[in-house]
Each structure stands twice: as C-alpha cells, then as structure tokens.
Amino acid sequence: MGTLRAWRGVVALVALAGGTALAASPEPPAGASSCSGCHAASARVDTTVPRLAGRSAADIVAQMQAFKTGQKQSTVMDRIAKGFTDAEVQAIADWYAQRK
C-alpha cells in the first residue's frame, strides 16, 4: 500500500513538472505572434501602443473583452478581438503575462 502511494506521488510530481514546463513554453500560442505587429516586445521601442509582455493575464483578457463588446473604442482592436475565441484570448494573455 505504501509503495503504491509513493508511486502516485512520483507520478503527480512528474505531471506537475510537465504542466509547468508547458505553461512556460517559449512558443507563442496561435495568434500571439500577430500582436507584435503593433505591440512592441522591447522596452527600447518608443510607441504609444502598450506593451503586452509582463502585463497580467487578467488585464489583457479584460481589455480584449472590452474591445469585443464595444466598451472600449479602437481603430482596429475591436475587429481583431472579435476574431479570437475566449480560449484563444486566455492562452495569448497567459503567454504574454509570462514574458518579461
């Protein structure tokens, strides 16, 4: 019984480590690379368009939702936001939140 419990613990740790590695993946999710056309990745770039790297995922999701619903006006973001599902927005927001 004790050995079985120990193996379950090992399996849980391996699964957790694997999930963490995936969450910190350097590969952007689908759609994320299109953001860099306007949102600069480098702090050295002088732009009025806000950077996404390091912003909280919740803030990015809220902004995208505001664009989607028309609460926040924009020249292009309202149309771009409507092209993403909620799951895609969350994946992109999570990815950018992990960037520094």
- pLDDT digits 0-9 by tens, 22-52: 445 679 999 998 898 899 988 888 889 999 9
Nearest-CA neighbor of 63 among 36, 90, 25?
A: 90
CB 51, CB 39: distance < 8 Å: yes
- Domain spanning 29-98, CATH architecture: Orthogonal Bundle (1.10)
Q: What is the pTM of this model?
A: 0.71
Question: pLDDT tens for residues 66-91?
Answer: 999 999 999 999 999 999 999 999 99
Question: H/E element holding 14?
Answer: helix 2-23
